[in-house]
Structure 1
Amino acid sequence: MSILSPKSKGDIGEKFVVKHLRHNGYKILRKNMRNICSEIDIIAYKSDILAFVEVKTRTEGQNIPAVYAVDLKKQRKIISAAFKFISDNKLKNQPRFDVAEVYLNKITHKVESINYIENAFTQGGNYGVF
C-alpha cells in the first residue's frame, strides 16, 4: 500500500469531480483558478447556474465528513475569489457554492464514493448542509 501525497489525492478527486459535473451537463469554465483572494478548485456552468466547487478528497474510513474542512475562513476566501471572478469577467450570474466530498479506497486509491453538495454554504457564511 503506497501513501498518496495530499496533492496527488486532491488531483484524483478533482479529476473525478470534473467528470461527474460534465456527466451532469455542466461545462467546466476553469480548474484551479487562482486570484489574489484564493483558489477555486472548479468553476462550472449549466443553464444560468455558476457553480464554484471546492473539492475535498479523503481516504475512506475517516470519521469526520470532508465538508467540515471548508470552515468559515475558507468559505470567505472562496466567496471573495468567486465575486472577483464574476466581476473580472463581467458576469451577471448569482454564484452557487458547492462542496464535493470524494472518498478513496485506502489500498487502491480509486474513488469509492462522491457526495456532491449543492449550496453547501452561502454568501452569509452559513452551511447549507445542516
Structure 2
Amino acid sequence: MNTADRLARRGSSATGRDGEEAAARFLEAQGYVILARNCRLSGGEIDIIAQEGGCLVVIEVKTRRGSRFGSPFEAVDARKQRRLAAAALEYMAMRNWDMPLRFDVAAVFADKNALRVELLRNAFEGEGT
C-alpha cells in the first residue's frame, strides 16, 4: 500500500499528525530549532513554534492528499492568519520574549510513495507583530 492510500485509510486527523511530523523533520533538517508543537493558547493553536537564528517562527502546517480542496497555502486565509498572530503574541507575552517574529506555512503533500513538504517562508504579516 502506498503512502497516500495508507493516509486515506487513516482519516484526516491521522493524516494531519503525519503531516506535522514530516514538517517538523523537514524544518529541523533546514536548521530550525523546534520549541513547541501543537501549542494551545486562548488565541488558537499553533502547529509548530520554532527558532531560526534570532527569529521566532510560527509555522502553520497544512496536509493534503490531493488538490480537491485547493492548495494547502490557500487554506491559510485572513481569519487563520489573525488567529495565528494573536496566538503568537500571547505565546511571546507569556515568556516575556521580545524578538523578531515570522510566519511560515508548511504544505505537506501525500504523494503515492512519500510525504513531500514545501515551505513558504514569511508567508504573511501578522497584525500587531
Please, what TM-score do these two structures have when normalized by structure 1?
0.86
Measure, in 2, the Cα distance between the counterparts of 1:57 and 1:38. Answer: 19
| 1:25 maps onto 2:28 in alignment | no
The sequence identity of aligned pairs, in percent, is 34
Q: Is the 8 A contact 2:49 2:57 kept in 1?
A: yes
Give aligned pairs, total. Answer: 122
Aligned Cα RMSD in Å?
1.8
Q: Which 5+ residue runs of structure 2 have no aligned equivalent?
A: none
Measure, in 1, the Cα distance between the counterparts of 2:60 and 2:21. Answer: 12
User: What is the match of residue 117 of structure 2?
Assistant: 114
User: What is the match of residue 5 of structure 1?
Assistant: 11
Q: Which 5+ residue runs of structure 1 have no aligned equivalent?
A: 126-130
Q: 1 or 2 for the larger relative contact order (CA 8 Å, sep ≥6)?
A: 2
Describe how 1:1-130 pairs up with structure 2 within 5 A: 1=5, 2-62=8-68, 64-105=70-111, 110-111=114-115, 113-124=116-127
User: What is the match of residue 128 of structure 1?
Assistant: none
Measure, in 2, the Cα distance between the counterparts of 1:57 and 1:94. Answer: 27
Runs of 4+ in 1 over 4 A off after TM superposition: none
Shift of 1:124: 4.0
Q: Is the 8 A contact 2:85 2:127 kept in 1?
A: no
Measure, in 2, the Cα distance between the counterparts of 1:28 and 1:102. Answer: 17
Measure, in 1, the Cα distance between the counterparts of 2:67 and 2:40. Answer: 31
